[in-house]
Copies of this chain bind each other. A is one copy, B any other.
């Protein structure tokens, strides 16, 4: 039976889950996959982690060189996170021809080009299913399941932390701060939640998924990104009143105008399938030209779900000897000259604070119409101190048109635009 030696770098949440899955399923994999997957080495600076998992002492390496030079190691699993050490270690493994499996979306989104180049040069495999949407096999679906399609778009909830926060704000009427505090208590948010709440995490994933879906490199730097930190209780409840639920969506589109990649809080209609994806769950819609719409749904993070994706990559690598570069295979470098669309088309939700006097609405409507923005629905509400609040949803228009209209409205002193959110119907 084929024997595959695995080394795990980092035994935190994901690395620990991976260790457990691989050791507990070893006999199962021998039986069902015909391959003997043995964790032969781990690298972890905190001895408590290895101890808790019961890792035999002789398997604990003291440095990266010991891991990558170990002739029994065929596959190196990187679960360190961050970019500095992770990149150095992954390159060390690839440079010596070891196959790498990583769950590191930041590393992959920022440095895939270099990593793939080195992997190719040394004939090493490079797999990253675990970098996106936890145990949901979205990458395999794009590369091995829908590869007969031209993918027109993908749209998803791909960050569990923000989805948890927005779900709590929506269902329990919490403020952003209250919901975030709850998420931290439950372990859904990290002590420093910036990567999640500012949309970086979703943007890393969108960069990776769009590159695969659209067969070109979609650099992370090209992803339009807006987080959820400015979302107010008022927005959530106004949206609710209009029949919308707020979600942090990642949207990738391949349009005639170019590729469009954006992460931002977005209102979706209450009956939209993504509206009912709650708490820390993730879901991705993919539209292919032959298959139509398909959706994948599941836990987007966590020790065992992410470990499941890593185990899947390890088995895939162990049983598909001629497939080494998930991205290369899919021609991610095929096109260089891609136009990234900034001035995308969307419907918009605007919340304005206005003087509570006659004629204001007409003036706002007049400014909007000057920018060819038309209104679908509107609610007006009295506020204290001679002020009123106007909430409106527009028809689809250009991002730049809204930006210009908002600037114009704010400059006229008839109203202040307090909130601009995009709407998907």
Contacts and interface: CB of A to CB of B under 8 A. Distances in A.
Contacts of A294: 135-136, 296-299
Interface in A131-151: 134-137, 140-141, 144-150
Contacts of A25: 148, 150
Contacts of A148: 21, 25, 29, 307-312, 314-315
Nearest to A335: B31
How many copies of this chain does the complex contain? 2
Given A31-B331, A147-B33, A291 B304 contact: yes
A292 B296 contact: no
Contacts of A34: 329, 331
Size bracket of the A interface: 35 or more
A334 interface: yes
Interface in A266-303: 273, 276, 288, 290-299
Nearest to A290: B308
A321 interface: yes
A144 B308 contact: no
A230 B162 CA distance: 46
A304 B292 contact: yes
Interface string A378-400: 00000000000000000000000
A292 B146 CA distance: 23
A330 interface: yes
8 contacts: A33-B147, A134-B291, A136-B291, A137-B145, A148-B307, A148-B309, A290-B307, A295-B295
Interface of A: 17, 21, 25, 28-29, 31-34, 129, 134-137, 140-141, 144-150, 215, 273, 276, 288, 290-299, 304-305, 307-312, 314-316, 319-323, 329-331, 334
Q: Which are the 9 A-B pairs with shortest beta-carbon distances?
A: A148-B311, A137-B145, A135-B291, A294-B298, A290-B308, A291-B308, A295-B297, A32-B331, A290-B304
Given A135-B292, A147-B312, 7 more contacts: A21-B148, A135-B146, A147-B315, A292-B299, A295-B295, A295-B297, A320-B323
